[in-house]
Copies of this chain bind each other. A is one copy, B any other.
Amino acid sequence: MPKFLDSLPMILSRSLDRVMPSYRRLFQANDLTDQQWRVLRALWEKQHLTSAQISQITLLPPPSLVGILDRLEKKNLIGRLRSTEDRRHIHIIPTQKGRALMEHMMPMVESIHDDFMQRVTAAEWDEFNRILNKLSEPTKKRNLA
């Protein structure tokens, strides 16, 4: 009984390792990293977001986000705009080039997603989400012995 390989972290990591290459080929073909795409994808839903909002949506930690935004900005895919109301906030806005890239990639990204969805029934997908949520929903901190 190799419990290690069946632990929750290893199961989730292994699945991620298996799922990501399908997406990554598309990202690389468009000169993007996984994380850079995540930021663009977040901006697809809403055109201007602050760094903190992007961090929350994409799950990218703020210190990582700084560099990711730097590189997206250098590629002229996004712009940074400091807010006038609250000068601590910086709005991230896709450029024309950024929007064009998003429009180009979105159908292919959705197609990959649909391919994965077709592997299971809608009921299975719901059940999967329900159980995974039970397994991983946030909780109080655990005491260490």
- A residues sitting closer than 8 Å to B (CB atoms) are 2-20, 22-23, 25-26, 29, 34, 41-42, 44-45, 57, 59, 108, 110, 112-113, 115-116, 119-120, 124-125, 127-129, 131-132, 134-138, 141-142, 144-145
Residues in B whose Cβ lies below 8 Å from that of A113: 3, 7-8
With A4-B41, A12-B16, A20-B9 as contacts: A134 and B124 at CB distance below 8 Å = yes
Q: Which residues of B contact A138 (CB under 8 A)?
A: 18
By a CB distance below 8 angstroms, the chain B residues around A2 are 45
A10 to B141, CA, bound (A): 23
Contact residue among B45, B110, B115, B128 (Cβ-Cβ distance under 8 Å from A132): B128
In contact, B129 and A18 (Cβ under 8 angstroms): no
Please state if B16 and A16 are interface contacts (CB–CB under 8 Å). yes
The reply to whether B128 and A115 form a contact with Cβ atoms under 8 Å apart is no
The winner among A16, A23, A57 for most chain B CB atoms within 10 A is A16
